[in-house]
Structure 1
Amino acid sequence: MKDKTSINRKSNTGAVEHVTKVHDREGDIMALATKEVISIPPTKSIKDTAKVMMEHEFRRLPITDPGSGKLLGIVTVMDILDFFGGGKKFNIIEKKYEDNFLAAINEPVKEIMTRDLITLSTKVSIGDTLKTMLDNQLGAIPLVDADGKLAGIVTERDIALSLAGMAGKETVHEYMSPKVFTTTPGTPLESACKIMVRNGLRRIPIVGGEADISKANKKLLGILTSTDVIRFLNAKELFDNLNSNLASDVLKITVSEIMVKDPITVEQTMTIGELCQLFAEKNIGGVPIIKDDEIVGIITERDVLNSVRRA
């Protein structure tokens, strides 16, 4: 039977005022939010959920009751990385299905979704939304109406992109994370997923290629993102080339085989406004920061939001 999940998608209509100027305006969050939200039922398989994410370039999908439209939970790319070897949800593959990858990915998404959600009313302000996101380290917040039905969703990206060309002249150096978690090209995918899930990372730079270990630890060779992992899970070649159904065989692929080998990078002198413009143009949410061909930091949409709160 054909899946009846709605696939309407609304593009945000231009930038709003600088966020710091509209903190007190009730309900202005809907100027940034996506109102016609793609949601999926709790019975959709993990495999098909990843497919919807990839088709629409989403990092998260709300789970709603098909009858009432009420919000039941949310699934994110980090949940899938957790399932794929990064954390406790890997138990579905490892224990419930005894390493049978093909069986496990057909489990309903309700088995890995987050049920205990933080939601906000459609009447909340941008400022309160921003505070809730940063205080709880959330990448997105569902917006619900008085009946608990999903009425919209707002993400870090929505707020960050609204600042494209409008943010101040502060440089990325002021807000970047100088502590960068990295790994090497030979790292198995399962291990990379563990690093990302345990440290709450949606992207991890890949370094190496130098005989001098002190330089190899900083020489950028590529980047692996959560989206790359989802893309790998959806690749036709993955299923065509499976020699067995064992997850251990699938997950031993090294990150060098699926990483982006020419990642977009920026220098420390780029302004936050220019960075937001880059995020918008390239449809990315974070970039490594380079100095003299070595990685010295990383900056993401969340760092941009922190720059707004500190302004």
Structure 2
Amino acid sequence: MISIKVGEVMKKDPIHVEIPGERGKVLELMQKYRLSAIPVTKKRKLVGIITISDLAENPEEEQLALLVRRGPVSLSPADEIKKAAEVFLKERIRIIPVVEKDELIGVISVDDVVKKAISRMNIADPVEKYMLDKFATVWEGTPISATLAISRYSGQRVLPVINSRGEIVGIVDDNDMLSLGEVIEETKVSSLTAPSEGERWAWDTGDLLYITTRKLELPEDKPVSEIMTRNVISVTRKTKVSEVARKMRRYDIETLPVIEASGELTGIIRDIDLLKSLL
């Protein structure tokens, strides 16, 4: 097997956010660059990671310092990609910061390992060895907001979309949904001092604190069929791992449905599943 270092496939000078900061900046970067996770730094020193899930699970929290996942695992540019694969699979994450002397110099993603490394190899294992045969799907008429919830609860960033006959008609991922969302500002008013019993109905409002938060609002009336990718690229159970990786690179996708000769959807293969072939 080819020896490939993390430094050969990582992204240098990665997009990141600095503490102190606010969720609105994170949302803007995620939408603009179609990211699901972003490193968080303080004066270039790595502090943690923030993900789409962190924002979705804490909709009222505005301060970045309280949203970030601190103490993330990291890699050196001199590490082998096999080590990166082990970390991705153990931690169930999609990006790993790459550091030198605690300073962020890059990130490596599952996407990088698959498209820049595995696609260059000749791994002949059939995809059926690593595919998922139990997976979530979503009906084409499901609202986008509900689709995002299904994605989060199932742990699948990418969902096959089926019609009422159970046939696959498209693919949707969390970035498709994120790009459609609108960042909404909400202002809430909180009293800094509680009124006494005699003052409870007084006109004087006392000291008030105005708290503004930014939330990602998804359209509730649009079905997922309006944003899904209709040109579905698929593989069979016998397709070789490196061939799957090359398809993922060619079409810039991270999950492929596994289809039988009859056209039946029997599984999915994700880029992270292909990492098992390196171990």
- Normalization by structure 1: what TM-score? 0.70
Q: Distance in 2 between matches of 1:74 and 1:141?
A: 9
**CA apart distance, 1:249:** 7.5
For the pair shown, which has the larger CA radius of gyration, 1 or 2? 2
**Cα distance change on mapping 1:274 and 1:247 into 2, 3 Å:** closer
Instruction: Give yes or no for the alignment of 1:157 onto 2:111.
Output: yes
Q: Distance in 2 between matches of 1:46 and 1:176?
A: 35
Which residue of structure 2 lines up, in the alignment, with residue 223 of structure 1? 171
**CA apart distance, 1:48:** 4.1
Which residue of structure 2 lines up, in the alignment, with residue 104 of structure 1? none
Q: Distance in 1 between matches of 2:97 and 2:26?
A: 18
Q: How many residues align?
A: 249
Which residue of structure 1 lines up, in the alignment, with residue 201 of structure 2? none
**CA apart distance, 1:298:** 0.3
Which residue of structure 1 lines up, in the alignment, with residue 254 of structure 2? 285
Instruction: Give yes or no for the alignment of 1:133 onto 2:88.
Output: yes
**CA apart distance, 1:108:** 4.8
Q: Which has the higher strand share?
A: 2
CA deviation string 1:144-199 (max 9, x = no partner): 222x2112211111111112142322222221101121121222233222221122
Indicate the RMSD between aligned Cα atoms, in angstroms: 2.8
**CA apart distance, 1:308:** 1.9
CA contact (8 A) 2:39 2:48 kept: yes
**CA apart distance, 1:52:** 2.5
CA contact (8 A) 1:42 1:110 kept: yes
Which residue of structure 1 lines up, in the alignment, with residue 152 of structure 2? 197
Q: Distance in 1 between matches of 2:118 and 2:110?
A: 11
SS of the aligned residue for 2:138 comes to coil
Among 296, 306, 311, the residue aligned to 2:266 = 296
Matches within 5 A, 1:203-218: 203-210=158-165, 216=166
Letter aligned with residue 45 of structure 2: K
Which residue of structure 2 lines up, in the alignment, with residue 257 of structure 1? 226
CA contact (8 A) 2:111 2:254 kept: yes
Q: Distance in 2 between matches of 1:117 and 1:262?
A: 36
CA contact (8 A) 1:47 1:234 kept: no
Q: Distance in 2 between matches of 1:247 and 1:134?
A: 29
SS of the aligned residue for 1:142 comes to strand
SS of the aligned residue for 1:297 comes to strand
Identity within the alignment, %? 23
Among 63, 80, 98, the residue aligned to 2:40 = 63
Instruction: Give yes or no for the alignment of 1:173 onto 2:148.
Output: no
**Cα distance change on mapping 1:262 and 1:111 into 2, 3 Å:** farther
Q: Distance in 2 between matches of 1:288 and 1:156?
A: 18
**Cα distance change on mapping 1:108 and 1:176 into 2, 3 Å:** same
CA deviation string 1:87-128 (max 9, x = no partner): x324x2xxx7xxxxxxxxxx4544543224122334433332
Q: Distance in 2 between matches of 1:43 and 1:209?
A: 48
Matches within 5 A, 1:105-124: 107-124=62-79
CA contact (8 A) 1:64 1:72 kept: yes
Q: Distance in 1 between matches of 2:73 and 2:215?
A: 36
Q: Distance in 1 between matches of 2:264 and 2:64?
A: 40
Q: Tell me, which stretches of 5 or more residues in structure 1 are unaligned?
A: 1-16, 23-27, 97-106, 211-215, 240-244
Which residue of structure 2 lines up, in the alignment, with residue 39 of structure 1? 16
Letter aligned with residue 271 of structure 1: K
Which residue of structure 1 lines up, in the alignment, with residue 30 of structure 2? 53
- Normalization by structure 2: what TM-score? 0.78
SS of the aligned residue for 1:307 comes to helix
